[in-house]
Amino acid sequence: MTSDVSNENLPGTDRAGQITPSPLPLPPPPPQELYSIVSQVGEGTFGKVYKARNAVTGVHVALKRIRMEAERDGFPVTAMREIKLLQSLRHENIVRLYEMMVSNGNVYMVFEYMDHDLTGILSQTQFSFTDANLKSLCQQMLAGLAYLHHKGVIHRDIKGSNILVNNRGELKLADFGLARFYQKRRRSDYTNRVITLWYRPPELLYGATVYGPEVDMWSAGCIMLELFTKKPVFQGNDEIHQLDVIFKILGTPTTERWPGVTELPWFELVKPKEVIPNHFRGLFQKWMSPAALDLAEQLLDYEPSRRISAVQALDAPYFTQEDPPAVLPTDLSSLEGEWHELETKRERAKKKRKTEGPGQA
């Protein structure tokens, strides 16, 4: 087949039709060839997350596929918000967004790959974190939050599966699908249907809609306890039960401990039926040092305005005065396999099927 177009004006050829070096860089290979998917590693707020390998560099990345179900309405606003937000963030404790990619009608966010998430890694039994490692993980989480809050961002979904850890022991906050910018001087009205139930602060469970970064600090307190006990501490089945679980550990709130509690929208509906004392220190002292308990207690203060900030928390005696000093858990490199919440759930389901045996519902 011949072409009517002469070579004369085509870039990259001379008058004799010989190919000359092109001044333009070669286009990258098509996305489906650039990345080969290795496995699914998670389920984000708004789409599946895959481990993939870059065919050119051999480097692993995380591909987060953006659900396009509502395609007729254009690109999902939630995804657009997350992308915009992530592009404005650059910190060693925040997961890095490399680029955006479109392949076969699917839109992907391309992230640096992290080997594990906190939920997965706390479920493994191959090795145990030292007190110095736990201190480092806690410090890195708080450093990530301090940066976010300094940039005027509330994460609103801090939980084990959104806290990623690589084999070098570096921790990074991820999944900004629910994150919002907030104004430090003027508190905004938001939905209280955010933050996974087990990590949701009591003011949101009582219907508060005006809040700021202190909601993330409650979640950080829950994570701190989880680091030491290896499992989520406040495991409620629904909002009312969640408050119940919190009260059984921290005691029922009083107007001394939480001055504005009776003014909250749903207080009358779900006010405590009995007075329960605070059992917090007695329950956790077998896992945590006095300085660690002090910090956790300040993160889990009922009164949102008294809850310690991330910057203040990093200056707590637990980090600045108490031995041992924080040490990165670099031994993670010896861990077999990769540990994510997804595998943990699958393992749990497998064990459940085994114990129930064939023929049982």
Does 183 lie in the same domain as 63? no
Strand partners, 61: 52, 112
pTM of the model: 0.85
Of the listed 117, 157, 175, 216, which one is catalytic? 157
- The answer to whether position 128 is within a domain reads yes
- Is the CB of residue 179 less than 8 Å from the CB of residue 154? yes
Helices (H), 99-213: 118-123, 131-150, 202-205
Q: Is 331 a catalytic residue?
A: no
What is the pLDDT averaged over residues 157-161? 95
> Do 100 and 155 have their domain in common?
no
- The predicted-structure confidence for 223-275, as pLDDT tens digits, reads as follows 999 999 999 999 999 999 999 999 999 999 999 999 999 999 999 988 888 99
User: Is 360 part of a structural domain of the chain?
Assistant: no
Q: Let me know whether 175 and 192 are in one domain.
A: yes
Q: Are residues 62 and 192 in the same domain?
A: no
What is the CATH number for 312? 1.10.510.10
Which of 71, 87, 112 is the last residue before a domain boundary? Answer: 112
**Contact predicate 309/264, CB 8 Å:** no
Q: How far apart are CA 185 and CA 206, in angstroms?
A: 24
Whether 221 and 312 share a structural domain: yes
Tens of pLDDT, residue by residue over 259-317, are 999 999 999 988 888 999 999 999 999 999 999 999 999 999 999 999 999 999 999 99
d(CA 281, CA 249): 9
In this structure, the strands spanning 60-66 and 97-103 are: unpaired
Kindly state whether residues 325 and 176 are assigned to the same domain: yes
CA distance 297 to 225: 10
Q: Which residue has the higher pLDDT, 349 or 209?
A: 209
What residue type is 205 in one-letter code?
L
**Domain co-membership, 231 together with 162:** yes
- Supply the range of the domain harboring residue 256: 116-334
The total number of structural domains that make up the chain: 2
- Interaxial angle between packed helices 131-150 and 214-229, expressed in degrees from 0 to 180 and rounded to the nearest 10: 170
Q: Do 59 and 159 lie in a common domain?
A: no
Q: Is residue 90 part of a domain?
A: yes
Same domain? For 252 and 308 the reply is: yes
Co-location of 87 and 187 in the same domain = no
In a domain, 350, yes or no: no
- Give the separation between CA 335 and CA 69, rounded to whole angstroms: 38
